[in-house]
Structure formats: C-alpha cells, structure tokens
Structure 1
Amino acid sequence: MSDKFDVVETHSRYCDALDRGDADDLVAVFTEDAVWYCKPMGTFEGHQGLRTFCKAVHEMTPGSMRHTTSNHVVDVTGDTARLRCYLTGIVWDAAKGVAPQVGGAGRYDAQLVRQDGAWKIRRLDVELYEVGDNLDERLTTS
C-alpha cells in the first residue's frame, strides 16, 4: 500500500508546485526525459520544457488556481506505476471580483518510475473535458 500512497503523493506534489508556480518543485517530481501532454496546450518535454510550462501557467493564473484530484486508481508493477484520476481546476480573480469557480475538468493519466527510491513521473497526459460538448443535448436525447 505504501507504493500506491507514494505515487499519489508524487502527483499531489506536482499539482501543488504547479498551483504555486514553483518550477523547481515541479521538475523535482519528473524524470529528466519526462513528457507532459495536453491536446489544447501542447507537449512539453524534459525539465526545461516543464519549467517553460510552469512559468506560462503561473503567468496566466498568478496564484489564483488550485487543482483538486479524486478517484485515484494506481497500478504498481515493480518499479513502474500508472496513476489515473479526475481533475477539477478551481480559478478566481479577486482583483476583478470573480469568486472561486470551476475553471476546467478532466483526467490525468500518469506513467511513473521509481528512481533512487522515489517515484517520478515519466509521462503525464492530461485530458481536458471540452466546454459546450453538447452534453445537455446528449442527456435529453438518450
């Protein structure tokens, strides 16, 4: 059970670092050759790419975004692991009087490896659910 907890903890550290805009803490949970991918945002590779990604996200939402994750499913096989979970992004802008609200939702699918006794993310795929994907229409016609 400890490996599963440690995998979730590694992912939680990723979310925390991204929300704080801390590129050093962010790259600390990734392998040197890591890949981060999200269709609308692109692909960021390696620690330098992840630093660029972290800076861009923090500039878009300086301290006004929080990731929450749930329904973690972790499969561990030796020194590799896969984590899948849901994500909800909470955003706000106090300066503009915008209260916290859901800014996005989706899924994470992460591949991790154990390196020097610690779990590191090798690949992180993010699927963001599209706004206006005709969900209301699909629900009423079912």
Structure 2
Amino acid sequence: MTSERDDRAEIYDLVCSYCRAVDRRDLAGVRALYARDGVDHHTGFDGSADEYVAWLAKMLPALDGTMHLLGNHLVELAGDEAVAETYGQAVHWGTPADEPALNFTTGFRYVDHLVREDGAWRIRERWAVREWIRSDAGRLLPGTGSGPRAGRHGNDPWDLAVGRLPDRPRAD
C-alpha cells in the first residue's frame, strides 16, 4: 500500500505526463493515462478516452506546436479513487501565424476523477475547464540562432538524454 504522499506525487506525475504526451504528440502515451473506461470532456469534444485520442489525432496536426504549463494542484484522496484539480495554461501555435484559431493561449483547470487501476493511477473522467482564451495571432516570432530545438517522435533532446540513461534504449 502506498502512502498518501506517494499517491499525490503519482497523480501529479500523471497530469505532467499527460501534458508532455499531448505536447510531443504521443497519442499512445495519452491513452495509457486513462482508465479502460475513461471519459474526457474538452472544449469541442465529449466522449470516451479512445474517441478523445482519435480526436487529438485529427486536431493536433493542424498545429505546429503546443506547450502546457501547470500551476496549482490539489488532490482529494479516497482509497483507490481521487479527485484532482490542476490549474494550467496552454500555448498553441500554427501556420499561418496570424490565424487566431491556430495561435492562442488558454487558461484552464483539469478536474480529474482518478482511479487506481492495475496498481497505477488513471484518469476515469476529465473535465478540461476553459477559464479564458487569448489570441496570439501575429505575435509568434521565429526562433533565432543555433541551439537545441523541440522535436517529436524520438528526436527531442529529452529522448536523446533519456536514451543515455543506463539500461534504456537509445534514440540515436
């Protein structure tokens, strides 16, 4: 049996892993964080976790990138179930840079009903509550200078660094 502190840390890691999986377009990683009977309620979407992942697969390619940033995080534990509320902001950018539907930042709260399934915390039901939205159309500046750049599907600096850990498969 895990401690309350361990459960809270695992739940926060789950929320962070979700954000990373969306930002890196790791759809299998997104699905793995939901319970078998998981449900998601997002702006523009309402349905099962499998349907949500299919929706993301159609929606995310329209964007050049996303970046989710997390803030306040509160967890109420009740045995093998919990409710978590996590505040955040998500930046979205796409081409053309002056298109408001592709270039915006939103403030949100994830309200998650979680369940311990097969020994790990999973999202049984998520409400992605949009608190506000701001257009960033025409404000994105191109990257300048040399240096590391974000990548997806195994070519991000994270993948390279993790691949160098002992007993891990290499990305290079």
Deviation at 1:127, TM superposition (A): 0.9
Structure 1 position 128, deviation (Å): 0.8
Partner of 2:86: 85
What TM-score do the two structures reach when normalised by structure 1? 0.79
2: CA distance between counterparts of 1:8 and 1:111? 13
Q: After the TM superposition, which residues 10-89 of structure 1 pair with which residues of structure 2 at under 5 Å, given as runs? A: 10-38=14-42, 40-47=43-50, 49-62=51-64, 64-89=65-90
Structure 2: distance between partners of 1:19 and 1:44: 21
**Structure 1 stretches lacking a partner, 5+ long:** 133-142
1:51 partner SS = helix
RMSD of aligned C-alpha atoms? Answer: 2.3
Please say which structure displays the higher CA radius of gyration: 2
* More strand as a share of residues: 1
Q: State the match for 2:106 in structure 1.
A: 104
The number of residue pairs the alignment matches comes to 127
The counterpart of 2:9, out of the listed 2, 5, 9, is 5
4+ residue stretches of structure 1 with deviation over 4 A? 93-98
Distance 2:93 2:53 in 1: 23
Q: Secondary structure at the match of 1:56?
A: helix
- Determine if contact 1:19/1:58 at 8 Å carries over to the other structure: no
Question: Is contact 2:18-2:30 (8 Å) kept?
Answer: yes
Contact 2:110–2:129 under 8 Å retained in 1? yes
- In the alignment, the residues of structure 2 paired with residue 86 and residue 68 of structure 1 have an alpha-carbon distance, to the nearest angstrom, of 9
Distance 1:65 1:94 in 2: 13
Q: Read off the aligned partner of 2:38 and give its amino acid letter.
A: A
RCO higher in 1 or 2 (8 Å CA, sep ≥ 6)?
1
Residue type at the aligned position of 1:89: A
Identity of aligned residues (%): 24
Tell me, in whole angstroms, the C-alpha distance in 2 between the residues paired with 1:41 and 1:77.
31
Extract unaligned runs of 5+ from structure 2. 135-172
Aligned residue identity for 2:25: G
Give SS of 1:25's match.
Answer: helix
